[in-house]
Structure 1
């Protein structure tokens, strides 16, 4: 059973796309939650205004600062019951921000874990990524992969590598005895590609298509991946947190990772973006003219050139093998374990999620109205 007395929660990456949704759900659903501390380097002013105007019992404490600030982390964790760690840098490149990404994603996680152990925080929930699992090959399909398959990303690209190291550090401390006599329980969620209103990645794709006469660049024929709506991924975090707060469930959930999907039908990334935006006049580009194998090995040559030039200056190739594999593979995952052990069920149907996201895309177009007028015949 969950404790009925008050508790508190720290959310890192709180100003981000997912972090904001998690906070809203915690405020809506967790009646015994006395305080949420929201930590991030940058906050949208509208986000802060929204919470300052809300009338609710839960105290919201805004903490602006860097995930590498050890003093700030100890202050943020003091007296906290649970931590949800979503803060990270997402990047599909090779070298450009490698040191920064490793510092934020790996060192930042380690420092936060040390702070939790030092002040006695008993619950730590980590937001990982499907890229910890793969895909590793565009010629070997993975359909409905699950946690028991022990899939592991073999790329040395900074983002998946950093998320893998951070997740291992989080899961490794599950069951450790804290100084205050409590035991820390940890688990990790691996969401698939997250979409919805406010998605920076989706916004970039829409703007890119606008610059190409509303044409979405097509992926390789037959490619397929999972996508999940941000509201459902946020809900999975709330449920995982509840499981970790339950002393009996924490014994089963602790040290585990879970894939998080929803009822969104798997698409290629290009087909998915088209499905969300077609009512606004977007279209799919023509099929890839260059044989994909040639494209893949061209990326390999660019990576070699980048490596050779690295001692002199940083050359970031326009594409790389990991990015090509990620967006052109058959790689789908199953969330059966999360449904069984966390009680996870999506709160939003595919139809609802599609409608909400498509409406948001419409607002993006309205913001670019002058641009569209200039492009009109």
Structure 2
């Protein structure tokens, strides 16, 4: 395939920005364009963005679509059943609980159905899906907030997950690199990649989220130390008390957003996978090692630490 390609990235957030960065380094790409929807009147009337993108591709004869989904589109379900080291072929039934997961599942269905759809020039649309998981790296705002939270508590980082809970973590650069490779190979090997779904992964050394978070923060600030597990019942009680106070005092007091029960249940439920499908299908290997990923994340955190609110102010706000 010797012609130069124009790539469009819809959405330039945490992952999208890294995708644009890596795409711009590829010599087979003629141009990288970005469309990042904001809250404007002309776009608010569109209720399903993915549907509009797919429709536009068919009308304008854009032959390839890679959709960025999430493991949240699969589970955990409303019964909080675990998935332990499954893969893309693992059967897992039930409806997901979190709104984010529900919308991702709906979008995935649209993308699957659009694969092979006829375009206006008579060609066929080719689609596939990447399911990202818990992603860390530069500009991961949750790491900033977590650091402030720890510093406000004498640099102690407590955690909600039971120690036997597993969840995959992947560096943002490797998630973006997988997108670059999928997009290229969707053109080169459409019969193999069309209609497929791929979980993102790299060599991040553990599936225990609290250990990953501690390693990232302590690399940036060695004073941050791992604390203890917060029992489920204690957090459940705090959530219920927060809800009661909010109802009683509304509208005189509008508290900051707080952890809700569906999110708590998701955090404490094992949902992990183990796969090499991306390697087998299109030769994926992580572009960044764990050490590089950790170093890049820590350097970014150091750079922004001086601009963060002091822990005391942050604690008062919350």
**TM-score bracket, shorter-length normalisation:** 0.7 to 0.9
Question: For residue 371 of structure 1, what is the aligned residue in structure 2?
Answer: 310
Q: Would you say 1:18 and 2:15 are equivalent positions? A: yes
Q: What does 1:1-377 align with in structure 2 at a 5 Å threshold? A: 3-14=1-12, 16-29=13-26, 31-41=27-37, 69=42, 107-136=48-77, 140-151=81-92, 154-222=95-163, 223-246=165-188, 249-279=189-219, 280=221, 281-288=223-230, 290=231, 292=232, 295-296=235-236, 318-368=258-308, 371=310
Q: Cα gap change, 1:364/1:131 in structure 2, threshold over 3 Å: closer, same or farther?
A: same
> Structure 1: which 4+ aligned runs deviate by more than 4 Å?
65-70, 137-140, 293-307, 314-317, 372-375
Return 5+ residue gaps in structure 2 as ranges.
Answer: 248-253
CA contact (8 A) 1:68 1:107 kept: no
Q: Distance in 1 between matches of 2:50 and 2:200?
A: 21
* Distance 1:26-1:139 versus aligned 2 partners, 3 A rule: closer
Partner-residue secondary structure (3-state), 1:344: coil
Query: Given that residues 130 and 190 in structure 1 are in contact (C-alpha distance below 8 angstroms), is that contact kept between their aligned partners in structure 2?
Result: yes
CA contact (8 A) 2:170 2:204 kept: yes
Greater shift after overlay, 137-146 or 317-326?
137-146
Give, in whole Å, the separation in 2 of the partners of 1:344 and 1:232.
Answer: 10
Could you list the per-position Cα deviations for residues 158-178 of structure 1 after superposition, in whole angstroms to 9, with x for gaps in the alignment?
Answer: 111011101110111101111
- The answer to whether the Cα contact below 8 Å between 2:69 and 2:131 also exists between their aligned partners in 1 is yes
CA distance in 2, matches of 1:227, 1:253: 24
TM-score between the two structures when normalised by the length of structure 2: 0.84
- The CA deviation at 1:217 is 2.9
Q: Following TM superposition, by how much is the alpha carbon of 1:199 offset from its aligned partner in structure 2, in angstroms?
A: 1.1
1:153 and 1:243, CA in 2 relative to 1: closer, same or farther beyond 3 A?
farther
- The SS at the match of 1:147 is coil
Displacement of 1:210 in angstroms is 2.9
Counterpart Cα distance in 1 of 2:257 and 2:305: 30
Deviations along 1:29-69, one digit per CA (max 9) or x if unpaired, are: 2x13122111114xxxxxxxxxxxxxxxxxxxxxxx56985
Structure 1 range deviating more: 318-327 or 176-185: 318-327
- Separation of aligned partners in 2, 1:353 and 1:176: 39
| Aligned counterparts of 1:295 and 1:123: Cα–Cα separation in 2 | 45
- Structure 1 alignment gaps of length 5 or more: 42-64, 71-99, 308-313
| Mapped partners of 2:227, 2:9: distance in 1 | 40
Task: For 1:115 and 1:303, locate their aligned partners in 2 and report how far apart those are by CA, in whole Å.
Answer: 43
Instruction: Name whichever of 200-209 and 351-360 sits farther off.
Output: 200-209
Tell me whether 321-330 or 345-354 shows the greater mean CA deviation: 321-330
RMSD: 3.4
Cα distance, 1:225 vs structure 2: 1.1
**Rounded Cα–Cα distance in structure 2 between residues aligned with 1:37 and 1:330:** 38
The 1:156–1:327 alpha-carbon spacing in structure 2 relative to 1, beyond 3 Å, is closer
Please give the secondary structure, in 1, of the residue aligned with 2:144.
Answer: helix
Structure scoring higher RCO (CA < 8 A, sep ≥ 6) equals: 2
TM-score (norm 1): 0.72
Q: Could you tell me how far apart the structure 2 residues matched to 1:68 and 1:340 are?
A: 44
